[in-house]
Amino acid sequence: MFMQNKAEIDVIRQVPDSDLQQYLSPVTSQLNDFERATLNRPFTKEELLIAVKGMEKSAAPGADGVQLPVIEYLWESLGPILTREANNIMRTGNLPQNFKKVLITLIPKRGKEGDTDIANLRPISLTNTTLKIVSSAACRRLQKVLDKLIGPNQRGFIKGRFITHNTMEFFTMVRLLKERKDRDRPSYYQAILMADFTKAFDRISHQYINATLEKMELGTKMTGLLMSILKGQFGQIVMNNCGGDYFPLDCGTRQGNPLSPLLFNIALEPFLLHLKILEGVKLSYGDISLGQMQYHAFADDVNIYLSNLSDYQKTARCIKDFERVSNSLVSQSKSKLIGFYNGYSRKEQDILPYPQSYIGREDTQYLGIRLKGVDWSRFIKNLPFMTHKQGYRGLDTINKALGTNMFVSSKTVYKDLVQCMTAKELKKIDVSIQRMFQGIGADKLYARPKKGGFGVIELKVQLQGHRAKVLARTLGDDQSWYVKYMRAKMLHHVVKIFHQNPRANIRNSQGLDWADFLFEANGRYFENLEWTFTPNEIHYINAWKQLVKGSRITHPYTIASRARIEDVSAILSLRGIPSDSERKMLRTGIFKSQSKQRQEKKPPIMPGRFREICPEARPIKKWDKFWKALYKEEWIKRNELGAIHLFNIGSYVPQHDERPSRAAKCLLCLKEVTSDVFLQHIYNECAISQYWWNHLGFPRAMNLREMLAPEDTSFDNLRKLNWFVKIVRITYKGRRQSGNEGVTLPELSNRALRSAMRRVTPMGQ
């Protein structure tokens, strides 16, 4: 089945050069001589090392089996060799023979887990790590000039451009079009074409990519390097650890190679330039024009905005021409036309052959967010399932924390910018995350790893920075319609407050500045926000209020003295100009990693009860030094020392002692112990513990003071301590369970003690 599908893709028709040049006529080179020379200069050993350090260390190797940490470790020997080979490739345009083999593994697309249909599987290319290093270095060079090569509404994998810009613009645009439908009376054919490219990365023609690179005038050497990484390679499909025959890879970009997304962006850009002939969607704030949108693109997710049947005809021609020259294919079954009128699904047209639906009934998604909005109750309810699905629910605490930040917190931040959670929902999601870490308090969960915590993101804090940053975007040079829209709203609200009239016209803004809204000192412009802003936008503003201190005081006489700009559109095109103090404040990183910043200000974790019964463990410096040493072992060297970590935050003890002095029985030695000294007994004085101290290689039994934030943070000592506290806790827990079931506990024999040591592994928790 795969080979049949592959054969269909690989029948690549050569397109006459004249046709390619005609199609690429809208493409012009924007690079200056210095930028082009920088792209084409020889690689240096230092440049490749920077690429090595920036790559994912756990990435799977290619056919040679060499992983990145090996190359980094041997860099002094291998660096000069790889630098020479990289420059040979750039000079000759030819790959060494051992760079040409590519292993291909198939993984299911999102939501298609367990599916065996080839259409629902995605090929991932495993190229040699050495080639990925060269590709990554080339990728870093390209990133510096992509703003000149790629239009502003294509945002995938480009530095400084974010997927959230697409989603916020899209959902705001949809809301505006719905609100203005009755007023503006647009064509019944106004619609969004969500174009789905079949095997987008795998089909794209090498001839077409080469012609596009040449038209953009990247330079002979850089173009030769990029094309050599694409052409002349041979793939081998590996399934169930069995490899098939090698076959030539005559089309497509290699998913898994760092250059693949950028090359696809470059290949897509001429198609998007052709779409500029569309009327598209005109956007405005009242009667003030904000611009028009013909498309949004993020990787192979392309939305095309259609105003009328004329746009349908132009789009059909654009798609047909792009498919012809690039070997791409827009799926007729998976692409969708979504209209804004109730009867759109029944509206007949024979121009664009895609399924039609009404947006009010459409349940599809744009970049992972449903058109109907985010169902936060369902999202929070599904958190336990999400952790299980991603495979980290049963891992140790550190990896579970990393998984939570990666799969839960990042998704939450992404969706929240489109539909902000209420304070109640924020509290619910933080509590739900805390429940996944039984026995660990919120303060320890959120604390920074170098301070003894696990670095889980506290969302109610973290989201404030992301929300406020939406408004910070308006202060830059961004001239997108969305930025102008937010500036218009802020200016309009300033006008309303200044005139104390919720119906004041935005054109009565003589002398008023939209940036005053953000920096006004007494907060009067933050009053009556519901006059102007949506609930989502009010969440952005409230976050800004929390993080940014206003410094401007506006009086009628200062406003009257300002130079007046009568054209509101011109006002909205002006970037905000913060004062020196405002600029200094904004440069302090106040929008970045709010949860982390908050936790960095706190002292290291110190277990309260342990410090009460062991005064020697009270100095903060002792804990600060210990946690930093343990951080290196656990987070940097990836040694699993979860038991001693949890013990030192006070949550890995078999039984907490109590302050009132009363009798309690040690379930290890079966002696009566007063509860106020229970922990001292079980770890230091108990005969059973003494046995384990002696047989785990310690010169003597450590007292509680020495166990808490130990001064000896060598791996050997930490490993043995980890083993000891695991044995004590697991054995004690097992005996307590037996006692609760009514079993009379026998004395532990030496044989049982040795067995306990064998059953418990030294590492982990």
pLDDT digits (tens, 9 = 90+) for 109-131: 777 777 777 778 888 888 999 99
Contact 296/169 with Cβ under 8 angstroms? yes
Residue 566: band (very low, low, confident or very high) from pLDDT cuts 50, 70, 90: low
Please indicate whether residue 582 or residue 458 has the higher confidence score (pLDDT). 458
> For the ranges 565-574, 683-692, 724-733, which has the lowest average pLDDT?
565-574
Model confidence at 667: pLDDT above 50 = yes
- C-alpha closest to that of 258 among 99, 148, 140, 121: 140
Model confidence at 760: pLDDT above 70 = yes
Please indicate whether residue 505 or residue 569 has the higher confidence score (pLDDT). 505
**In degrees to the nearest 10, what's the CA dihedral of 33, 35, 40, 45?**
140
Residue 747: band (very low, low, confident or very high) from pLDDT cuts 50, 70, 90: very high
37 Cβ contact list (under 8 Å, min separation 6)? 219
pTM of the model: 0.89
pLDDT at residue 3 in the model? 42
Contact 495/504 with Cβ under 8 angstroms? yes
> Average pLDDT in the 508-527 region?
90
Exposed (0-12), middle (13-18) or buried (19+): which is 636, by Cβ within 10 Å?
exposed
How far the first Cα of the chain sits from its last, in Å, is 46
Q: Residue 257 in 3-state DSSP?
A: strand
Work out the angle between the directed axes of helices 750-759 and 687-695 (0-180°, nearest 10).
Answer: 60
Average pLDDT, the chain: 91
Q: Which of 154-168, 228-242, 247-261 is most confident?
A: 154-168
Taken as a whole, the chain contains a residue count of 765
**Rounded distance between C-alpha atoms, residue 168 and residue 163, angstroms:** 9
**Rounded distance between C-alpha atoms, residue 365 and residue 370, angstroms:** 4
Residue 658: strand pairing partners: none
Exposed (0-12), middle (13-18) or buried (19+): which is 442, by Cβ within 10 Å?
middle
Q: What sign has the CA pseudo-torsion 670, 672, 676, 682?
A: negative
pLDDT, tens digit (0-9, with 9 covering 90-100), for 196-206: 998 889 899 99
- C-alpha closest to that of 260 among 232, 220, 300: 300
pLDDT, tens digit (0-9, with 9 covering 90-100), for 330-383: 999 999 999 999 889 898 899 999 999 999 988 899 999 999 999 999 999 988
**Rounded distance between C-alpha atoms, residue 235 and residue 252, angstroms:** 12
Work out the angle between the directed axes of helices 129-143 and 45-53 (0-180°, nearest 10).
Answer: 100
Task: For the chain, give the longest Cα–Cα distance.
Answer: 95
Model confidence at 559: pLDDT above 90 = no
> Average pLDDT in the 19-46 region?
96
**Rounded distance between C-alpha atoms, residue 399 and residue 417, angstroms:** 27
Tokens of 334: 């998976």
Tokens of 621: 């410096």
> What proportion of the chain, given as a percentage, has pLDDT over 90?
68
Residue 264: band (very low, low, confident or very high) from pLDDT cuts 50, 70, 90: very high
**Rounded distance between C-alpha atoms, residue 385 and residue 91, angstroms:** 52
Model confidence at 2: pLDDT above 50 = no
Kindly write down the DSSP assignment for every residue of 488-551, as one continuous string: HHHHHHHHHHHHT-TT--TT--TT--TTHHHHBTT-GGGTTGGGT--HHHHHHHHHHHHH----
**Rounded distance between C-alpha atoms, residue 168 and residue 413, angstroms:** 12
Tokens of 588: 């302090």
- C-alpha closest to that of 263 among 104, 90, 146, 102: 146
pLDDT at residue 1 in the model? 35
**Rounded distance between C-alpha atoms, residue 505 and residue 286, angstroms:** 10
Kindly write down the DSSP assignment for every residue of 50-82, as one continuous string: HHHHTS-TTPPP-TT---HHHHHHTHHHHHHHH
**Rounded distance between C-alpha atoms, residue 588 and residue 591, angstroms:** 9
pLDDT at residue 64 in the model? 87
Kindly write down the DSSP assignment for every residue of 140-178, as one continuous string: HHHHTTHHHHS-TTB-TT-TT--HHHHHHHHHHHHHHHH
**Rounded distance between C-alpha atoms, residue 418 and residue 5, angstroms:** 38
- C-alpha closest to that of 202 among 109, 76, 315, 337: 109
- C-alpha closest to that of 292 among 284, 281, 302: 281
Q: Cα separations (Å) of 668 from 175, 244, 733?
A: 66, 59, 10
**Rounded distance between C-alpha atoms, residue 757 and residue 693, angstroms:** 11
Tokens of 275: 């779409």
Residue 7: band (very low, low, confident or very high) from pLDDT cuts 50, 70, 90: very low
Model confidence at 670: pLDDT above 80 = yes
Contact 68/55 with Cβ under 8 angstroms? yes
H/E run at residue 40: helix 33-40
Tokens of 466: 């992301």
**Rounded distance between C-alpha atoms, residue 382 and residue 709, angstroms:** 38
Q: How many CB atoms lie within 10 A of CB 282?
A: 17
pLDDT at residue 256 in the model? 82
pLDDT at residue 66 in the model? 92
Residue 236: strand pairing partners: 103
> For the ranges 164-168, 675-679, 705-709, 743-747, which has the lowest average pLDDT?
675-679
Model confidence at 11: pLDDT above 60 = no
**Rounded distance between C-alpha atoms, residue 357 and residue 31, angstroms:** 43
Residue 40: band (very low, low, confident or very high) from pLDDT cuts 50, 70, 90: very high
Q: From the CA atom positions of the chain, what is the Rg in Å?
A: 31
Model confidence at 563: pLDDT above 60 = no
> Average pLDDT in the 611-627 region?
92
Report the alpha-carbon angle 305-306-307, nearest 5. Answer: 125
Contact 653/647 with Cβ under 8 angstroms? yes
> Average pLDDT in the 433-459 region?
94
Model confidence at 581: pLDDT above 70 = yes
Work out the angle between the directed axes of helices 75-92 and 220-230 (0-180°, nearest 10).
Answer: 110
**Rounded distance between C-alpha atoms, residue 391 and residue 393, angstroms:** 6
> What proportion of the chain, given as a percentage, has pLDDT over 70?
95
> Average pLDDT in the 751-760 region?
95
pLDDT at residue 10 in the model? 46
- C-alpha closest to that of 714 among 639, 660, 647: 639
Q: How many CB atoms lie within 10 A of CB 405?
A: 17
Q: Cα separations (Å) of 271 from 9, 190, 202, 292, 420?
A: 20, 21, 17, 18, 34
pLDDT at residue 587 in the model? 84
CA 649 remoteness from chain centre: 30
> Average pLDDT in the 526-535 region?
97
> For the ranges 88-97, 203-212, 259-268, 574-583, which has the lowest average pLDDT?
574-583
Residue 4: band (very low, low, confident or very high) from pLDDT cuts 50, 70, 90: very low
CA 60 remoteness from chain centre: 20
Contact 445/475 with Cβ under 8 angstroms? no
Q: Cα separations (Å) of 595 from 145, 255, 517?
A: 33, 34, 26
Model confidence at 167: pLDDT above 80 = yes
**Rounded distance between C-alpha atoms, residue 579 and residue 560, angstroms:** 19
- Tell me the HSE value of 213 on the side-chain side, using a 13 A CA sphere: 23
Report the alpha-carbon angle 671-676-677, nearest 5. Answer: 55
pLDDT, tens digit (0-9, with 9 covering 90-100), for 644-655: 999 999 888 876
Model confidence at 68: pLDDT above 50 = yes
Model confidence at 182: pLDDT above 80 = no
